[in-house]
A and B are shown apart, each in its own frame.
Chain A
Amino acid sequence: MTDQPIDVHVDNLETRFPGMVSQDSRQGYTGYLVKPEGLTAFATALRDQMGFRYLSSVTAVDYLAEDLMEVVYHAYRLEGGPALVFKTQVPRQEPHVPSLVPLFPGAEFQEREAWDLFGVRFDGHPDLRRILMWEGFGGHPMRKDWHEAYYEEEAKPFKNRWPEGQVYRIEDKVPYGHNVSYPSEFSPEGWVPQEDVALYAGLGKIQGNGDGSGGGLDTEQIVINLGPQHPSTHGVFRMVVRLDGETVVDLRPVMGYLHRNHEKLGERNTFLMNMPFTDRLDYLCSMSNNFGYALAVEKLMGIQPPERADYIRVMMAELTRIINHMLAIGFLLNDLGAYFTPVMYCFNERELILDVFEAVSGSRMMCNYFRFGGVARDLTQDAFGMVKRLVQERLPPKLDELERFLVKNEIVRERSIGVGVLSAEQAIALSAAGPVLRASGVPYDVRRAEPYSIYDRLEFDVCTRQHGDIYDRFLIRFDEMRQSLRILQQVVRDLPPGEIMTGKPQYQVRVPAGESYGRVENPKGELGFYLVSNGKANPYRYHIRSPSFINLTSLAQMCRGQKIADAVVILGSIDIVLGEVDR
């Protein structure tokens, strides 16, 4: 990978950057505070000398009382180990932070998100536009002093919802009767809507063509919008593509069409109320989303679930992985033009696994099954029997069958081998995660790099593939399903009896002040929850490092120079879910 010797000590950072870096000494906080003027030098040293080459998460926190805006970074070593957290603090009025995109291209979308939602300006960012809201939206919604139209109180439970109180709904009191509010100086007369001018202007053009100097035909480049309503964008997602003939010259993803304000709602809700909301992030993998959130809050509370609960959690998370990869493969084939047949086969297996979920949690998709310190309900004998039958009898042959149908198929191979290549270096730089990273040959899996729950005592391999093209991303999902089955067989074999909950189930959990970052290896990559608690009943900051969103950073890189028909397949091979991209 790199020839430089890796400095394994990170405890001398303060002496190495005198006056620039200091330990974060606030109660319950970890990591380092870096002055904004020293941030670039610090990040460069981190990447090139200390081996923290993977910048996983960038987000902002609005400390209203201290009048500070804080940008939080999490960086990792690819050999494994915990995160190095570093932060930089700037005043709230005009927050300016140097952009890390020149060092870590994977921060591009995350910095845009911080600008969009918090109003933090990143100097040196190549394309600082709003990403989830539209250009011209009034204000930066995640700021603590920005109130939405249906604003009632800072935090739930609302006082007017008590049974003896006068119950009313806020929507009966807003001026328009629905969810809008305008700034006081706004008048529709003379107002011109902002179009996507900046978006189209930012699309790169190949220079030196169109005047006959290109050597071939004189072609005119055109800009095409795919989506937001398009059958192969896996939801409401838009790709703005500049085409030269059939070849993609440049591409910009546009998202936010499903931005459901998850984080703002999460900061109004109590800790437990967020659990059902996490189901609706990546709505194919609700169980593993629960897992990440439960881990983050348990870290803050300092509790451990009992043995049996851990086993049940891992069982559910791995079943979810099988569901997700099944659908990823099915929809990838759908994008390739096999239409609906593979999806039909994959959905058959999914239904059987959903039966298990329905038996344990009462719901097919939105399971809301994990609790802080355990799971909501015990795994019944019936459900256990179902899981046993699935992992021992039903799924392995079905997986073989699916593989036999698809893997050697000539059209699949022709369309996907060597297309949309992402090299290992690029994948790391672009902060890709999960199957996208591993298919490029980087053996990084959170379950091995920083084991959580009981993964440290389970036997499984971290799957990698070496080419980083669509075919490898397609095959690695088969590999991972096989490993999931391996894990499941061990879990089914060793499931211990006993309690499923530490302490008694409670409606309000007491969470001490501090910050935590819980991460799990979701089917789509590393899902992280960054929480800041100030000791109250609701999180002060609730941020999701969503793998789908960050994996999209590499989409343009993979699509340049490919055909437009391949761009659709490349998007399918990343396997995004818009609920998680837009949150």
Chain B
Amino acid sequence: MPDDLSNPEYPIPEDLRGQVTITTLDKIYNWGRRSSVWPMFWGLACCAIEMIATATSRYDMARFGMEVMRPSPRQTDLMIISGTVTKKLIPQIVRLYNQVPEPKYVMAMGACASGGGPFKEGYNVVSGVDQFLPVDVYVPGCPPTPQALIHGFLVLHKKIAAQPIKAIPGYQKAALEPLPIPVLGPDLINLRDLPRIPAAASGSGPEEA
């Protein structure tokens, strides 16, 4: 990694090349952040098995400093939504997301988490976790192979490397509002929809095609 760390505008004397690197604060800081992204250890469905397979010896996430998978959201940088997001579970997912300390990243792994996948038409399935959480990286596949997931990690690393310290959302002065946690009623109630519910419910249901 020192190649993209060093700043070629400042020539370093030949005999110090191996010991000294001149770089920017943003670069060295993000290099540290992206080389130790700790994912949260929780699986939702089939994708979780491929996620675990990525952590095992053949693919090995430890190469990216990602082998520390803690089940607690408090020790997490990255939430991998690895599986189908159901209406029954989305309140817990949003609650967990609110507990992850900033800066935090969300990866939608697989077709279900990205957009509902093969189960999209189901009555208990949320069509993509991005309806409730801000997603940083989408990994396509059903389930994505470990190679695809690793590619997703590399994309996330690029994204982290490109964030100036001053622009990271969690480092701003203003306090961040927690996301509203949806409620389970006769169907899932997204609190952002509240004003629209009585009108739409008293009208017809889904429009007839």
Contacts and interface: CB of A to CB of B under 8 A. Distances in A.
Interface of A: 132-134, 136-139, 141, 147-152, 160, 168, 170-171, 173-176, 178-189, 191, 193, 228-231, 235-236, 256-262, 264-265, 268, 276-277, 280, 283-284, 340, 343-344, 347-348, 350-351, 364-366, 578-579
B179 to A, nearest CB: 16
Contact of A182 (B53, B92, B187): B187
Contacts of A186: 185-186, 197, 201
Task: With a 10 A CB-CB cut-off, give which of A138, A193, A235 has the most chain B CB atoms.
Answer: A235
Contact of A258 (B44, B194, B198): B44
A312 B158 CA distance: 45
Contact of B189 (A185, A188, A343, A347): A188
B207 A173 contact: yes
A72 B48 CA distance: 35
B45 A193 contact: no
Contacts of A147: 205-206
Interface in B18-54: 41-46, 48-50, 52-53
Interface stretch (B1-9, B115-123, B165-173): B115-123
Contacts of A351: 53, 56, 58
Contacts of A284: 49
B188 interface: yes
Given A258-B45, A366-B142, A174 B185 contact: no
B198 A188 contact: yes
Contacts of A366: 46, 142-143
Interface of B: 41-46, 48-50, 52-53, 55-58, 71, 83-84, 86, 88-89, 92, 96, 116, 118-127, 131, 142-143, 145, 183-190, 193-194, 196-198, 200-203, 205-207, 209
28 contacts: A138-B185, A141-B123, A148-B121, A149-B205, A149-B206, A168-B209, A173-B207, A179-B116, A179-B122, A179-B125, A180-B187, A180-B190, A181-B187, A182-B186, A189-B198, A229-B71, A256-B88, A258-B83, A259-B86, A260-B86, A260-B124, A265-B122, A280-B45, A283-B45, A348-B56, A351-B58, A365-B46, A366-B142
A512 B120 CA distance: 29
Contacts of B50: 364-365
B206 A179 contact: no
A364 B86 CA distance: 25
Contacts of A257: 86, 88-89, 92
Contacts of A138: 185-187
Contacts of A171: 120, 127
The B interface is mostly helix, strand or loop, or mixed, namely loop
A189 B193 CA distance: 13
B187 A258 contact: no
Contacts of A259: 86, 88, 124
A175 B186 contact: no
B88 A133 contact: yes
Nearest to B44: A236
Contact of B123 (A136, A148, A283): A148
Given A151-B206, A173-B207, A183 B186 contact: yes
B46 A280 contact: yes
Nearest to B43: A235
A236 B206 CA distance: 31
A188 B118 contact: no
A134 B200 contact: no
Given A147-B205, A193-B183, A261-B121, 5 more contacts: A137-B186, A149-B205, A228-B89, A261-B125, A366-B143
Contact of B185 (A136, A160, A283): A136
B129 to A, nearest CB: 12
Contact of B201 (A137, A182, A231, A365): A182
B45 to A, nearest CB: 6
Of B46, B58, B205, chain A has the most CB atoms within 10 Å of the CB of B46
A191 B198 CA distance: 12
Most buried by A among B126, B127, B131: B127
Of the candidates A132, A179, A185, A261, the one having the most CB atoms from chain B within 10 angstroms of its own CB is A179
Contacts of B187: 137-138, 149, 180-182
Contacts of B143: 283, 365-366
Contacts of A343: 52, 56
B168 to A, nearest CB: 26
Given A182-B201, A283-B45, A348-B56, A170 B118 contact: no
B125 to A, nearest CB: 6
A142 to B, nearest CB: 10
Nearest to A331: B52
Contact of B206 (A174, A256, A277, A340): A174
A187 B198 contact: yes
A261 B44 contact: no
Contact of A235 (B48, B120, B202): B48
Shortest Cβ-Cβ A-B pairs, 4 listed: A261-B122, A138-B186, A283-B46, A148-B123
A154 to B, nearest CB: 12
Contacts of B145: 364
A149 B123 contact: yes
Contacts of A134: 88, 184
Contact of A260 (B43, B58, B122, B127): B122
A174 B150 CA distance: 36
A235 B52 CA distance: 12
Contacts of A236: 42, 44, 89
Nearest to B50: A365
B86 to A, nearest CB: 6
B45 A578 contact: yes
Contacts of B203: 175
Nearest to B48: A235
B124 A170 contact: no
Contacts of A350: 53
Given A180-B187, A235-B45, A260-B124, A187 B197 contact: yes
Contacts of A150: 120-121, 206
A486 B124 CA distance: 42
Contacts of A170: 121, 206, 209
Contacts of B89: 228, 236, 257-258
A160 B186 contact: no
Contacts of A180: 187-190, 193
Nearest to A150: B121
Contact of B126 (A136, A179, A228): A179
Contacts of B58: 347-348, 351
A257 B142 CA distance: 19
A277 B46 CA distance: 12
